Amino acid sequence: MEISGKLVEKLPQQTGQGRNGQWVKQEFILETQDQYPRKVCIALWGDKAREIDSMSIGDGLKASINVESREFNGKWYTDVKAWRIEKL
């Protein structure tokens, strides 16, 4: 899937240690340019996390994403993960 919009916020980078080693996660907020704009929180993982560093608030972006939901203790959580981002 692809989503396009304007970069409105970069959230603080997160790091941690998991069973497969160290991980890095960078989330950002993209606002769509539809008639009724929506904000979407998108995550970049691993080496991809640095790609957002070269982009500024207000830049137009196109993100290629995967949407995935998982269940934990009877509740469902949805992640939007980007595997490629491009400046428009």
- Dihedral through CA 41, CA 46, CA 51, CA 55, nearest 10? 40
- Please say whether the beta carbons of 58 and 19 come within 8 A: no
Q: Is the pLDDT of residue 18 over 90?
A: no
Residue 86 pLDDT level (bands cut at 50, 70, 90): very high
Mean per-residue pLDDT of the chain? 94
Helix (H, G, I), strand (E, B) or coil at 56: coil
Examine the pLDDT at 20 and tell me if it is beyond 90: no
pLDDT of residue 33: 92
**Residues 49-71 as b or e (16 or more Cβ within 10 Å = b):** beebeebeeeeebebebeeeeee
pLDDT in tens, 23-48: 999 999 999 999 999 999 999 999 89
pTM for the whole structure = 0.88
Closest CA to 83 of 62, 67, 63: 63
